[in-house]
Amino acid sequence: MQYLQQIAFVLLAAAAIIFFSFKVKEIRRNILLGKDEPYNDNPGARWKNLILLAFGQKKMFKNPLVAIMHFIIYAGFIIINLEVLEIVLDGIFGTHRLFAPLLGRLYNWLINSFEILALGVLIVCVVFLIRRNILKIRRFISRDLEGWPRSDANYILITEIILMSLFLIMNAADTTLQERNVGHFADHLTGDFVVSGMLKPLIAGMSDSSLMALERGAWWLHIIGIFAFLNYLPWSKHLHILLAFPNAYYARLEPQGKMKNMPAIQNEVLYAMEPEMVPAESVGDPSFGAKDVQDLSWRNLLDAYSCTECGRCSDACPANITGKLLSPRKIMMDTRDRLVEVGNNIRANGSFQPDGKTLLHNYISTEELRACTTCNACVEACPVSISPLEIILELRRSLVMEGSNAPQEWNAMFSNVENNFAPWKFSPDDRDAWVNS
């Protein structure tokens, strides 16, 4: 019977890892559909960003109470899952608390720490469910989250509550069986743990066989839940749990207000002023901005997959606050949805086949793009250094320069810049006339 359990466990673990690996490979391929862009400079600053933004969650602490609660869940995900290593090894080798004799007293200290953290995660998840579904904080009831995105967040919180509860129940049943000297449970006597010990009176009246079934049931459901959660991540906004780290490392190091120049435009101006600089061989017609996800950089696409859908960007956006259609969160969600659609197209056809859709117009409207004031509030607010503004600017460049689609006020400004070298309708010779007035 023990061998059958070990075989079942190994098959389950192998299947979970294989399916997860396939999905990760697909996500990587989708991200690399974007244009190449170098982000390998200044590794010292990049490692600092990774430590402060991803591990330390520096930006979250602008709201200390929420930051502490979020940090508890984050620490629970990272630290408690160290305990999964023991579960995995016990499942493979058919052992019971493999690390207990190796770590001695340290083992009890670790499990007690895990249990306190598990209780913290459980409580914080309940608080977050209340904030989302009862208090209904504005950024959690936005139209951006209608349908699946709102359900996704609730599913994750409920799953965390179940996993933490199973962990505590498993330990309570295990230590009770140790006290009764039942089978292999008596091989390693750990004594009571700080949180699960409080649950023991609730199961004290159960028979040995019922307790063994409870412990094994909690053990199996806990590890199955972890493997299921692992394979749910790539379909969920909670993929940011993994992608926050590369996203922080490849964060932009330039000042937020700095916008990228367009080499194609610079060259056009250069060639007009110095025709002798025109290359002998044609380099083809340049494209301006981005119309679809393949026209964005790989870093923009990594941003889209890393988005936590927390809504802090939209909460800080002046256009969104004043009721305009623009929502930076929706920009990121739409980019990810379109990227997934393009990826599915490639998987089905071997290469991308035109489907009559583009990110611009079919997912993100002209009205949304024009509402942006390029104030960078969304970039500053994002806890994982995502830039909706870069995507907005690239789409707007395509809209104006490829589609000649700009409002009258913009066209007047463009004309002034072209003729007067400034946005105002004054000739360069008259620009300092106000001094004499």
Report pLDDT digits (tens) over 207-232.
989 998 998 899 899 889 889 988 99
Using alpha carbons, list the distances in angstroms from residue 437 to 25, 146, 301, 430, 434. Answer: 67, 58, 53, 12, 5
Of 312 and 76, the one with more pLDDT = 312
CA distance 122 to 73: 8
pLDDT of residue 281: 67
The C-alpha angle 59, 64, 69, rounded to 5 degrees, equals 95
Domain residue spans in the chain?
2-249, 263-275+288-429
How many beta carbons lie within 10 A of that of residue 327, not counting itself? 25
Name the band, by pLDDT with cuts 50, 70 and 90, for residue 338.
very high
What's the average model confidence in pLDDT over 325-329? 94
pLDDT higher than 80, residue 272? no
Most confidently modeled range among 3-7, 222-226, 279-283 = 222-226
pLDDT of residue 1: 59
Signed CA dihedral, 10, 226, 305, 385: sign only: negative
Q: What is the pLDDT of residues 160-197, one digit of tens each?
A: 899 899 999 999 998 888 888 887 777 777 778 899 98
Q: What is the pLDDT of residues 397-436, one digit of tens each?
A: 999 988 888 888 888 888 888 788 788 877 777 777 767 7
Of 64 and 290, the one with more pLDDT = 290
Contacts for 373-379 with beta carbons within 8 Å, 24 or more apart? Answer: 373/318, 373/319, 374/259, 375/318, 376/256, 376/257, 377/313, 377/316, 377/317, 377/318, 378/313, 378/314, 378/316, 378/317, 378/328, 379/256, 379/313
Q: What is the pLDDT of residues 49-100, one digit of tens each?
A: 888 888 888 888 888 888 888 888 877 777 776 778 888 888 888 788 878 8
Question: Could you name the CATH architecture of 263-275+288-429?
Answer: Orthogonal Bundle (1.10)
Q: Is 383:312 a contact under the CB 8 Å cutoff?
A: yes
Structure-token match 């950024």, residue found: 139
Structure-token match 């690399």, residue found: 32
Query: pTM of the entire structure?
Result: 0.84
pLDDT higher than 80, residue 276? no
Burial class (CB in 10 A: 0-12, 13-18, 19+), 262: middle
Map 34-100 to HEC letters: CECCCCCCCHHHHHHHHHHHHHCCHHHHHCHHHHHHHHHHHHHHHHHCHHHHHHHHHHHHCCCCCCH
Name the band, by pLDDT with cuts 50, 70 and 90, for residue 278.
confident
Host H or E run for residue 263: helix 263-273
Most confidently modeled range among 232-236, 264-268, 271-275 = 232-236
What's the average model confidence in pLDDT over 266-276? 76
Assign 297 to helix, strand or coil: strand
Assign 257 to helix, strand or coil: coil
Pick the closest to residue 367 from 403, 407, 415 (CA basis).
407
Burial class (CB in 10 A: 0-12, 13-18, 19+), 27: buried
Signed CA dihedral, 425, 427, 432, 436: sign only: negative
List all residues 6 or more positions away from 328 whose beta carbon is below 8 Å from its beta carbon. Answer: 313, 314, 317, 320, 378, 388, 389, 392
pLDDT higher than 60, residue 344? yes
CA distance 150 to 20: 23
Mean of the per-residue pLDDT values for the chain?
87
CA distance 206 to 45: 57
pLDDT of residue 15: 93
Name the band, by pLDDT with cuts 50, 70 and 90, for residue 111.
confident
Tokens (6 digits) for 367: 């009205």
pLDDT higher than 60, residue 284? no
pLDDT of residue 23: 93
Of 367 and 287, the one with more pLDDT = 367
